[in-house]
Amino acid sequence: MLFNPENPEDFAQSILKVLQPQTKMKLIEKGIKRGKTFSWTKTAQETAAVFRSVIEGEKS
């Protein structure tokens, strides 16, 4: 949810919108769906790949 951080009214409207049950459920569903794109295995593989590239860069 985006809002203008320099506009208190915009911020307040965003909070009120998030508190509405329909919006709240929609955001929860999106969050669960997004969370499923992450895994510890994938994180470990990507972190190891970064470490390998740094080590290889130091050897050059």
pLDDT 10s per residue in the chain (60 long)?
Answer: 899 999 999 999 999 999 999 999 999 999 999 999 999 999 999 999 999 999 988 876
DSSP 26: H
Q: What is the pLDDT of residue 24?
A: 95
Angstrom distances, CA of residue 44 to CA of 6, 14, 39, 52, 57: 39, 36, 9, 12, 20
Q: What is the pLDDT of residue 60?
A: 64
Instruction: Give the span between the Cα atoms of 8 and 24, in whole angstroms.
Output: 21
